Chains A and B, each alone.
Chain A
Amino acid sequence: DIQMTQSPSSLSASVGDRVTITCRASQDISNYLAWFQQKPGKAPKSLIYAASSLQSGVPSKFSGSGSGTDFTLTISSLQPEDFATYYCQQYNSFPITFGQGTRLEIK
Chain B
Amino acid sequence: EVQLLESGGGLVQPGGSLRLSCAASGFTFSSYAMSWVRQAPGKGLEWVSVISNSGGSTYYADSVKGRFTISRDNSKNTLYLQMNSLRAEDAAVYYCAKAPYSSSWASFFDYWGQGTLVTVSS
A-B CB contacts (within 8 Å), total count:
57
Chain A residue contacts of B61, Cβ below 8 A: 95
Of A19-27, A71-79, A97-105, the one with at least 4 CB within 8 A of chain B:
A97-105
Q: Which residue of A lies closest to B6 (CB)?
A: A43
Residue B29 CB within 8 A of the other chain: no
Task: Give the interface of A toward B (CB within 8 A).
Answer: 32, 34, 36, 41-46, 49, 55, 87, 89, 91-101
Chain B residue contacts of A87, Cβ below 8 A: 44-45
Q: Which residue of B lies closest to A56 (CB)?
A: B110
Distance in angstroms between the alpha carbons of A36 and B110 in the assembled complex: 9
A-B contact pairs, 15 of them (CB 8 A): A36-B109, A43-B111, A43-B114, A44-B109, A44-B112, A46-B111, A49-B100, A89-B109, A91-B108, A92-B106, A94-B59, A95-B47, A97-B47, A98-B47, A101-B44
Q: Is the CB of A96 within 8 A of B44?
A: no
Distance in angstroms between the alpha carbons of A74 and B61 in the assembled complex: 31
Chain A residue contacts of B115, Cβ below 8 A: 43
Q: Which residue of A lies closest to B113 (CB)?
A: A43
Q: Which residue of B lies closest to A91 (CB)?
A: B106
A93 to chain B: closest CB distance in Å?
A: 6
Q: Is the CB of A96 within 8 A of B112?
A: no
Q: Is the CB of A91 within 8 A of B107?
A: yes
Q: Is the CB of A55 within 8 A of B110?
A: yes
Q: Which residue of A lies closest to B99 (CB)?
A: A91
Q: Is the CB of B44 within 8 A of A100?
A: yes
Q: Is the CB of A43 within 8 A of B112?
A: yes
Supposing A95-B61, A95-B62 touch, asked if A46 and B44 sit within 8 A by C-beta, the answer is: no
A67 to chain B: closest CB distance in Å?
A: 15
A41-B114, A99-B44 given; 19 more Cβ-contact pairs under 8 Å? A32-B106, A34-B108, A36-B112, A42-B114, A43-B4, A43-B112, A43-B114, A44-B95, A46-B108, A46-B109, A46-B112, A87-B45, A89-B45, A91-B108, A95-B62, A96-B50, A96-B107, A98-B47, A101-B45
